[in-house]
């Protein structure tokens, strides 16, 4: 905890002492050891999907806490391989991507068909695979913000994936096609027993106004999350909100003044909690993205993002560039620092829950013997 507070610096009180007076924490389905039993078992998810979710939640340093730490490396397509891996060319080799996730104690590694397929027989049984099924390939000129499928659900299943991931660019001209396309893909992934994760991103030049960028506005990203869980994404990936009031500033869609006065505020934890609320009050876990690498400030930025996500009721972080655009040892250190935020109290709660279950089991056995002796 001391390392975390040290990284928060003079913002310790701002992040750690803040109390949400918007959406009460007791309304949120917060991550826990029993999250699958309490949230997903009553749903329409099949037993194989529950097994896949269990595989995600029970791997790595955060196993048994209900929280997730995922390493995503699809930037070779999304941002070009040269630009992504120039800081550390080792990651041109897919095996080093998977090694970083394992050594970094992650719950899973998320990457492309090619990356995971090239090392599937060696690693699919050692760490859960999440296959990203669509991408913006960035080589068409002029570039357009469109996500296209790079493979099939059957391919993902055959290489041993426990989950598939996809991006929808909400607000883009192609978004309606993408919604239909990914809704069908997620339905089939569930039929195959895999979990589903949706990158709920906004893309539209009209979302910028008066030098202010509303692509990360709490109200817009919150609605994107709500659309994502509507097509039955089990987990939502979203950027951390940086502002609010996009609907009113851009004069489009529908809004209510209470969205900004009662359901949120200008505090980042309150804005993130609004994102969580739009994920069916946390029934679908919210994982925030780590963002691009800024060099020396990466560790501090990652810890701050994790603190905001956790205190808002989120489920974890999915951090890529901050981890792999540096030497492996430094990447491992950063991933561990993120995980430490979620382990502060969660590990104790997890151990107490396990101890309680064992105690209850012992009590049940004791009562059985008493009954047998009496009868």
Q: Domains in the chain, please, with CATH? A: 2-374 (3.20.20.70)
Confidence category of residue 346, pLDDT binned at 50, 70, 90: very low
Question: Rounded to 5 degrees, what angle do the CA atoms 235, 237, 243 make?
Answer: 135
Question: Average of pLDDT values for 357-371?
Answer: 56
pLDDT at residue 375 tops 80: no
pLDDT score for 145: 80
pLDDT score for 80: 93
Confidence category of residue 41, pLDDT binned at 50, 70, 90: very high
pLDDT at residue 261 tops 60: yes
Question: Average of pLDDT values for 205-228?
Answer: 97
pLDDT score for 140: 87
Question: Average of pLDDT values for 289-310?
Answer: 95
User: What does the alpha-carbon distance between residue 282 and residue 178 come to, in Å, rounded to a whole number?
Assistant: 24
The CA-atom distances, in angstroms, between 63 and each of 33, 79, 174, 233, 340 are 9, 31, 38, 21, 12
pLDDT at residue 363 tops 60: no
Cβ-in-10-Å burial (0-12, 13-18, 19+) of 340 comes to middle
pTM: 0.91
Confidence category of residue 138, pLDDT binned at 50, 70, 90: confident
Question: Average of pLDDT values for 211-229?
Answer: 97
pLDDT at residue 366 tops 90: no
Q: Which is more confidently placed, 44 or 350?
A: 44
User: What does the alpha-carbon distance between residue 60 and residue 103 come to, in Å, rounded to a whole number?
Assistant: 9
Q: How far apart are the first and last CA of the chain?
A: 54
pLDDT at residue 354 tops 60: no
pLDDT score for 371: 52
Question: Average of pLDDT values for 40-63?
Answer: 98
Beta bridge mates, 71: 109
pLDDT at residue 61 tops 70: yes
Q: Which is more confidently placed, 144 or 153?
A: 153
Q: What percent of the chain has pLDDT over 90?
A: 88
pLDDT score for 350: 47
Write the CB contacts of 55 (distance below 8 Å, at least 6 apart in sequence): 128, 162
Cβ-in-10-Å burial (0-12, 13-18, 19+) of 237 comes to buried
Write the CB contacts of 123 (distance below 8 Å, at least 6 apart in sequence): 95, 98, 102, 129
Mean pLDDT across the chain: 93
Q: Does the annotation count 363 as an active-site position?
A: no
Confidence category of residue 352, pLDDT binned at 50, 70, 90: very low
Distance from CA of residue 325 to its chain's centroid? Answer: 20
pLDDT score for 144: 82
Write the CB contacts of 262 (distance below 8 Å, at least 6 apart in sequence): 22
Q: Which is more confidently placed, 305 or 348?
A: 305
Annotated catalytic residue, options 25, 132, 209, 237: 237
pLDDT at residue 231 tops 60: yes
pLDDT score for 364: 60
DSSP state string for 151-203: S-HHHHHHTT-SEEEEEEEETSTTHHHHHHHHHHHHHHHHHTT-EEEEEEEE-
Each residue's pLDDT tens digit, 78-129: 899 999 999 999 999 999 999 999 999 999 999 999 999 999 999 999 999 9
pLDDT score for 143: 83
Stretch among 40-44, 64-68, 202-206, 365-369 having the lowest mean pLDDT: 365-369
Question: Average of pLDDT values for 274-281?
Answer: 98
């Amino acid at each position: 905890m001391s390392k975390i507070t040290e990284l928060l610096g003079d913002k310790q009180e701002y992040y750690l002492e803040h109390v949400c007076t918007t959406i009460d924490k007791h309304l949120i389905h917060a991550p826990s050891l029993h999250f699958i039993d309490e949230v997903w078992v009553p749903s329409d998810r099949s037993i194989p999907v529950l097994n896949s979710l269990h595989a995600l939640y029970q791997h790595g340093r955060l196993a048994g806490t209900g929280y997730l730490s995922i390493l995503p490396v699809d930037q070779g397509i999304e941002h070009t391989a040269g630009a992504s891996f120039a800081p550390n060319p080792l990651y041109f080799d897919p095996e080093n991507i998977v090694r970083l996730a394992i050594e970094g104690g992650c719950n899973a590694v998320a990457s492309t068909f090619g990356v995971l397929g090239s090392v599937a027989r060696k690693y699919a049984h050692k760490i859960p695979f999440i296959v990203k099924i669509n991408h913006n390939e960035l080589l068409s000129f002029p570039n357009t913000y469109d996500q296209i499928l790079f493979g099939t659900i059957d391919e993902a299943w055959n290489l041993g994936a426990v989950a598939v991931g996809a991006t929808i660019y909400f607000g883009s001209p192609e978004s309606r096609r993408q919604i239909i396309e990914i809704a069908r893909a997620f339905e089939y992934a569930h039929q195959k027993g895999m979990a589903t994760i949706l990158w709920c991103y906004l893309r539209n030049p009209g979302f910028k106004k008066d030098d202010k960028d509303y692509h990360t506005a709490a109200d817009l990203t919150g609605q994107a999350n709500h659309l994502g869980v509507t097509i039955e994404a089990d987990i939502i990936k979203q950027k951390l909100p940086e502002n609010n009031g996009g609907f009113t500033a851009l004069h489009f869609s529908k809004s209510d003044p209470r969205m900004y006065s009662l359901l949120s505020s200008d505090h980042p934890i309150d804005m993130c909690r609004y994102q969580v609320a739009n994920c069916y009050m946390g029934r679908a876990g919210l994982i925030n993205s780590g963002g691009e690498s800024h060099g020396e400030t990466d560790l501090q930025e990652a810890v701050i993002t994790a603190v905001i996500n956790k205190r808002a009721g989120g489920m974890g972080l999915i951090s890529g560039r901050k981890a792999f655009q540096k030497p492996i040892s430094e990447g491992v250190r950063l991933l561990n620092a993120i995980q430490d935020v979620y382990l502060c109290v969660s590990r104790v709660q997890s151990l107490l829950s396990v101890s309680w279950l064992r105690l209850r089991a012992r009590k049940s056995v004791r009562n059985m013997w008493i009954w047998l002796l009496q009868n």
